[in-house]
Amino acid sequence: MMGLPFIHHPGYTIELPAAHPFPMRKFTALREQLCPLAAGAAIDWLQPEPVDRDALRRVHTRDYIEAFFGGRVDRIAQRRSGFQWSEELVSRVRLETAGTLLTVEAALAEGLALNTAGGTHHAHADTASGYCLINDIAVAAAHALARGWVRRVLVVDLDVHQGDGTAALFQDVPEVFTFSMHAGTNFPARKQHGDLDVALPKGMADDTYLDALAARLPELLEQFRPDVVIYDAGVDVHERDRLGHLALTDAGIRQRDEYVIRACRSAGVPVAAVIGGGYDRDIEALAARHALLHQAAINHWNQAGG
Protein backbone atom coordinates (compact mmCIF):
# COMPACT_ATOMS: atom_id res chain seq x y z
CA MET A 1 0.00 0.00 0.00
CA MET A 2 1.20 3.48 -0.83
CA GLY A 3 1.11 6.40 1.57
CA LEU A 4 -1.56 9.07 1.74
CA PRO A 5 -1.53 10.73 -1.70
CA PHE A 6 -0.89 14.47 -1.82
CA ILE A 7 -1.00 15.94 -5.33
CA HIS A 8 1.06 19.03 -6.16
CA HIS A 9 2.89 20.70 -9.00
CA PRO A 10 5.17 23.77 -8.83
CA GLY A 11 3.30 25.05 -11.88
CA TYR A 12 0.21 25.66 -9.73
CA THR A 13 1.80 29.05 -9.03
CA ILE A 14 2.54 31.64 -11.71
CA GLU A 15 3.53 35.28 -11.52
CA LEU A 16 0.74 37.85 -11.31
CA PRO A 17 0.91 41.64 -11.02
CA ALA A 18 1.64 42.73 -7.47
CA ALA A 19 -1.77 44.35 -7.05
CA HIS A 20 -3.74 41.36 -8.37
CA PRO A 21 -6.42 40.29 -5.85
CA PHE A 22 -6.06 36.53 -6.40
CA PRO A 23 -3.71 34.98 -3.79
CA MET A 24 -1.66 32.96 -6.28
CA ARG A 25 1.26 32.44 -3.90
CA LYS A 26 -0.89 30.39 -1.52
CA PHE A 27 -0.24 27.17 -3.46
CA THR A 28 3.53 27.43 -2.97
CA ALA A 29 3.06 28.47 0.65
CA LEU A 30 0.78 25.50 1.29
CA ARG A 31 3.33 23.09 -0.16
CA GLU A 32 6.02 24.59 2.05
CA GLN A 33 3.85 24.34 5.15
CA LEU A 34 2.94 20.74 4.40
CA CYS A 35 6.57 19.59 4.21
CA PRO A 36 7.21 19.61 7.99
CA LEU A 37 3.60 18.61 8.66
CA ALA A 38 4.02 15.51 6.53
CA ALA A 39 7.55 14.70 7.71
CA GLY A 40 6.41 12.14 10.28
CA ALA A 41 3.60 10.71 8.16
CA ALA A 42 3.44 8.24 5.28
CA ILE A 43 2.83 10.72 2.46
CA ASP A 44 3.27 10.07 -1.24
CA TRP A 45 3.68 13.24 -3.27
CA LEU A 46 2.28 12.82 -6.78
CA GLN A 47 2.80 15.24 -9.66
CA PRO A 48 0.29 15.57 -12.50
CA GLU A 49 0.97 15.94 -16.21
CA PRO A 50 -1.03 18.62 -18.08
CA VAL A 51 -4.58 17.57 -18.87
CA ASP A 52 -5.43 17.02 -22.54
CA ARG A 53 -8.19 18.74 -24.47
CA ASP A 54 -10.33 15.61 -24.79
CA ALA A 55 -10.85 15.45 -21.04
CA LEU A 56 -11.83 19.12 -20.96
CA ARG A 57 -14.32 18.72 -23.81
CA ARG A 58 -16.41 16.33 -21.74
CA VAL A 59 -17.80 19.37 -19.92
CA HIS A 60 -16.62 22.44 -21.84
CA THR A 61 -17.55 23.42 -25.38
CA ARG A 62 -15.04 22.93 -28.16
CA ASP A 63 -15.16 26.63 -29.10
CA TYR A 64 -14.41 27.71 -25.53
CA ILE A 65 -11.49 25.29 -25.18
CA GLU A 66 -9.97 26.30 -28.51
CA ALA A 67 -10.33 29.99 -27.70
CA PHE A 68 -8.74 29.50 -24.29
CA PHE A 69 -5.82 27.43 -25.57
CA GLY A 70 -5.29 29.72 -28.54
CA GLY A 71 -5.41 33.04 -26.73
CA ARG A 72 -8.57 34.22 -28.47
CA VAL A 73 -10.37 35.27 -25.27
CA ASP A 74 -11.86 38.75 -25.54
CA ARG A 75 -11.34 41.43 -22.92
CA ILE A 76 -14.83 41.16 -21.48
CA ALA A 77 -14.38 37.41 -20.94
CA GLN A 78 -10.95 37.99 -19.43
CA ARG A 79 -12.40 40.54 -17.03
CA ARG A 80 -15.13 38.08 -16.03
CA SER A 81 -12.53 35.40 -15.35
CA GLY A 82 -10.41 37.68 -13.18
CA PHE A 83 -7.23 36.94 -15.14
CA GLN A 84 -5.44 38.36 -18.14
CA TRP A 85 -4.80 35.58 -20.66
CA SER A 86 -1.27 34.21 -21.02
CA GLU A 87 0.37 30.97 -22.06
CA GLU A 88 1.53 30.57 -18.45
CA LEU A 89 -2.08 30.79 -17.29
CA VAL A 90 -3.14 28.07 -19.73
CA SER A 91 -0.33 25.82 -18.48
CA ARG A 92 -1.29 26.46 -14.87
CA VAL A 93 -4.96 25.65 -15.46
CA ARG A 94 -4.08 22.44 -17.31
CA LEU A 95 -1.89 21.33 -14.41
CA GLU A 96 -4.44 22.22 -11.73
CA THR A 97 -7.20 20.36 -13.57
CA ALA A 98 -4.94 17.36 -14.13
CA GLY A 99 -4.14 17.44 -10.42
CA THR A 100 -7.80 16.98 -9.56
CA LEU A 101 -8.11 14.11 -12.08
CA LEU A 102 -5.11 12.47 -10.45
CA THR A 103 -6.60 13.11 -7.01
CA VAL A 104 -9.77 11.24 -7.96
CA GLU A 105 -7.77 8.36 -9.43
CA ALA A 106 -5.59 8.13 -6.31
CA ALA A 107 -8.61 8.34 -4.00
CA LEU A 108 -10.26 5.43 -5.78
CA ALA A 109 -7.07 3.41 -5.29
CA GLU A 110 -6.29 4.39 -1.70
CA GLY A 111 -9.57 5.68 -0.24
CA LEU A 112 -8.36 9.24 0.31
CA ALA A 113 -6.30 11.75 -1.69
CA LEU A 114 -5.83 15.51 -1.63
CA ASN A 115 -4.87 18.14 -4.15
CA THR A 116 -3.02 21.30 -3.07
CA ALA A 117 -5.13 23.32 -5.52
CA GLY A 118 -8.45 22.91 -7.36
CA GLY A 119 -12.05 23.78 -6.71
CA THR A 120 -12.68 26.04 -9.71
CA HIS A 121 -16.42 25.55 -9.47
CA HIS A 122 -17.62 28.78 -11.13
CA ALA A 123 -16.49 27.83 -14.64
CA HIS A 124 -19.39 27.00 -16.96
CA ALA A 125 -19.41 25.04 -20.20
CA ASP A 126 -18.57 28.03 -22.36
CA THR A 127 -17.37 30.75 -20.02
CA ALA A 128 -15.05 31.54 -17.14
CA SER A 129 -16.11 33.31 -13.97
CA GLY A 130 -14.78 34.26 -10.56
CA TYR A 131 -11.14 33.17 -11.04
CA CYS A 132 -12.34 29.86 -12.50
CA LEU A 133 -11.40 29.13 -16.12
CA ILE A 134 -11.86 25.36 -16.33
CA ASN A 135 -14.12 23.48 -13.92
CA ASP A 136 -11.69 20.93 -12.55
CA ILE A 137 -14.33 19.29 -10.33
CA ALA A 138 -16.66 18.71 -13.27
CA VAL A 139 -13.86 17.55 -15.58
CA ALA A 140 -12.70 15.03 -12.96
CA ALA A 141 -16.22 13.72 -12.31
CA ALA A 142 -16.94 13.34 -16.04
CA HIS A 143 -13.56 11.68 -16.60
CA ALA A 144 -14.13 9.09 -13.87
CA LEU A 145 -17.57 8.28 -15.29
CA ALA A 146 -16.30 8.07 -18.88
CA ARG A 147 -13.47 5.74 -17.89
CA GLY A 148 -15.89 3.46 -16.06
CA TRP A 149 -14.12 3.96 -12.76
CA VAL A 150 -17.37 4.93 -11.03
CA ARG A 151 -21.12 4.94 -11.61
CA ARG A 152 -22.09 7.76 -9.23
CA VAL A 153 -20.22 10.86 -8.05
CA LEU A 154 -21.22 13.05 -5.12
CA VAL A 155 -19.82 16.59 -5.14
CA VAL A 156 -19.69 18.03 -1.63
CA ASP A 157 -19.00 21.73 -2.13
CA LEU A 158 -18.42 23.62 1.12
CA ASP A 159 -16.79 26.69 -0.37
CA VAL A 160 -18.49 29.89 0.81
CA HIS A 161 -19.69 30.52 -2.75
CA GLN A 162 -22.25 28.36 -4.51
CA GLY A 163 -20.72 25.90 -6.99
CA ASP A 164 -22.84 27.38 -9.75
CA GLY A 165 -20.78 26.11 -12.67
CA THR A 166 -20.72 22.56 -11.37
CA ALA A 167 -24.46 22.65 -10.67
CA ALA A 168 -25.24 23.91 -14.17
CA LEU A 169 -22.99 21.38 -15.89
CA PHE A 170 -24.63 18.42 -14.14
CA GLN A 171 -28.28 19.52 -13.98
CA ASP A 172 -29.27 16.77 -16.40
CA VAL A 173 -26.71 14.16 -15.33
CA PRO A 174 -28.27 11.82 -12.75
CA GLU A 175 -24.92 10.06 -12.18
CA VAL A 176 -23.58 13.21 -10.49
CA PHE A 177 -25.22 14.69 -7.38
CA THR A 178 -24.18 18.27 -6.53
CA PHE A 179 -24.46 19.39 -2.90
CA SER A 180 -23.47 23.00 -2.21
CA MET A 181 -23.65 24.59 1.24
CA HIS A 182 -22.79 28.25 0.89
CA ALA A 183 -23.48 31.81 2.04
CA GLY A 184 -26.75 32.80 0.44
CA THR A 185 -25.76 36.48 0.27
CA ASN A 186 -22.47 35.87 -1.53
CA PHE A 187 -21.30 35.51 -5.14
CA PRO A 188 -22.67 34.52 -7.58
CA ALA A 189 -25.66 36.85 -7.53
CA ARG A 190 -27.55 34.47 -9.80
CA LYS A 191 -27.48 31.00 -8.29
CA GLN A 192 -27.92 27.81 -10.30
CA HIS A 193 -30.13 24.88 -9.30
CA GLY A 194 -28.00 22.05 -7.98
CA ASP A 195 -29.35 18.80 -6.59
CA LEU A 196 -29.12 20.14 -3.02
CA ASP A 197 -28.40 23.81 -2.36
CA VAL A 198 -28.25 25.03 1.22
CA ALA A 199 -28.07 28.83 1.47
CA LEU A 200 -26.70 29.84 4.87
CA PRO A 201 -27.37 33.18 6.61
CA LYS A 202 -24.62 35.76 6.80
CA GLY A 203 -22.40 35.44 9.85
CA MET A 204 -23.12 31.79 10.63
CA ALA A 205 -20.48 30.41 13.02
CA ASP A 206 -19.00 27.02 13.87
CA ASP A 207 -21.67 25.16 15.80
CA THR A 208 -24.69 25.98 13.65
CA TYR A 209 -22.67 25.41 10.48
CA LEU A 210 -21.52 21.97 11.63
CA ASP A 211 -25.07 21.10 12.67
CA ALA A 212 -26.34 22.05 9.19
CA LEU A 213 -23.72 19.84 7.58
CA ALA A 214 -24.40 16.88 9.89
CA ALA A 215 -28.12 17.17 9.14
CA ARG A 216 -27.51 16.48 5.44
CA LEU A 217 -24.32 14.62 4.58
CA PRO A 218 -25.06 11.22 6.17
CA GLU A 219 -28.45 11.07 4.47
CA LEU A 220 -26.90 11.90 1.10
CA LEU A 221 -24.31 9.17 1.49
CA GLU A 222 -26.97 6.65 2.44
CA GLN A 223 -29.49 7.56 -0.26
CA PHE A 224 -27.26 8.37 -3.26
CA ARG A 225 -24.58 5.75 -2.48
CA PRO A 226 -21.75 7.42 -4.42
CA ASP A 227 -18.66 5.59 -5.59
CA VAL A 228 -16.54 8.66 -4.82
CA VAL A 229 -16.95 12.03 -3.15
CA ILE A 230 -15.22 15.05 -4.63
CA TYR A 231 -14.90 17.42 -1.70
CA ASP A 232 -14.38 21.16 -2.21
CA ALA A 233 -12.95 22.28 1.13
CA GLY A 234 -12.92 26.05 0.58
CA VAL A 235 -11.66 28.05 3.54
CA ASP A 236 -13.39 31.27 2.48
CA VAL A 237 -15.96 30.34 5.12
CA HIS A 238 -13.42 31.69 7.64
CA GLU A 239 -14.34 34.68 9.80
CA ARG A 240 -11.32 36.64 8.51
CA ASP A 241 -11.69 35.82 4.84
CA ARG A 242 -12.05 39.01 2.84
CA LEU A 243 -14.57 37.51 0.40
CA GLY A 244 -16.53 35.32 2.79
CA HIS A 245 -19.78 36.09 4.58
CA LEU A 246 -19.57 33.35 7.21
CA ALA A 247 -17.73 33.26 10.53
CA LEU A 248 -16.02 29.90 11.01
CA THR A 249 -12.85 29.73 13.08
CA ASP A 250 -9.79 27.60 12.45
CA ALA A 251 -11.25 25.06 14.88
CA GLY A 252 -14.53 25.03 12.99
CA ILE A 253 -12.85 24.41 9.65
CA ARG A 254 -10.77 21.63 11.19
CA GLN A 255 -13.90 19.98 12.60
CA ARG A 256 -15.69 20.37 9.26
CA ASP A 257 -12.91 18.66 7.33
CA GLU A 258 -12.53 15.91 9.91
CA TYR A 259 -16.28 15.30 9.80
CA VAL A 260 -16.51 15.07 6.01
CA ILE A 261 -13.58 12.67 5.77
CA ARG A 262 -14.80 10.52 8.64
CA ALA A 263 -18.42 10.39 7.44
CA CYS A 264 -17.46 9.41 3.91
CA ARG A 265 -14.80 6.90 4.84
CA SER A 266 -17.06 5.31 7.49
CA ALA A 267 -19.57 4.76 4.68
CA GLY A 268 -16.85 3.15 2.59
CA VAL A 269 -16.74 6.03 0.10
CA PRO A 270 -13.39 7.31 -1.23
CA VAL A 271 -12.72 11.04 -0.83
CA ALA A 272 -10.91 13.20 -3.39
CA ALA A 273 -10.41 16.63 -1.82
CA VAL A 274 -9.48 19.97 -3.37
CA ILE A 275 -8.70 23.14 -1.44
CA GLY A 276 -11.24 25.53 -2.96
CA GLY A 277 -11.38 29.24 -2.26
CA GLY A 278 -9.62 31.31 0.35
CA TYR A 279 -8.76 35.01 0.20
CA ASP A 280 -6.45 36.77 2.60
CA ARG A 281 -3.55 39.13 2.01
CA ASP A 282 -1.66 37.25 4.73
CA ILE A 283 -0.57 34.34 2.54
CA GLU A 284 0.97 32.32 5.36
CA ALA A 285 -2.20 32.53 7.45
CA LEU A 286 -4.28 31.57 4.42
CA ALA A 287 -2.06 28.59 3.61
CA ALA A 288 -2.34 27.46 7.22
CA ARG A 289 -6.14 27.40 6.89
CA HIS A 290 -5.88 25.26 3.76
CA ALA A 291 -3.43 22.97 5.55
CA LEU A 292 -6.14 22.12 8.09
CA LEU A 293 -7.64 19.83 5.43
CA HIS A 294 -4.39 17.96 4.94
CA GLN A 295 -3.83 17.68 8.69
CA ALA A 296 -7.32 16.22 9.09
CA ALA A 297 -6.52 13.70 6.35
CA ILE A 298 -3.20 12.73 7.96
CA ASN A 299 -4.91 12.23 11.32
CA HIS A 300 -7.60 10.04 9.78
CA TRP A 301 -5.06 8.07 7.77
CA ASN A 302 -2.95 7.38 10.85
CA GLN A 303 -5.96 6.44 12.97
CA ALA A 304 -7.26 4.12 10.27
CA GLY A 305 -3.87 2.49 9.87
CA GLY A 306 -3.36 3.74 6.31
Tell me which residues are annotated as active site.
122
Single-letter amino acid, residue 108: L
List, in order, residues 6 or more apart from 170 with CB less than 8 Å away: 138, 141, 155, 176, 178, 194, 195
Residue 267 has, within 13 A of its CA and on its CB side, a CA count of 22
Beta strand 4-7 with 112-115: parallel, antiparallel or unpaired?
parallel
Separation of first and last alpha carbons in the chain: 8
Single-letter amino acid, residue 278: G
- Of 151, 199, 208, the residue nearest 179 (C-alpha): 199
Q: Are 244 and 238 in contact (CB under 8 A)?
A: yes
Residue 27 has, within 13 A of its CA and on its CB side, a CA count of 26
Burial class (CB in 10 A: 0-12, 13-18, 19+), 306: middle
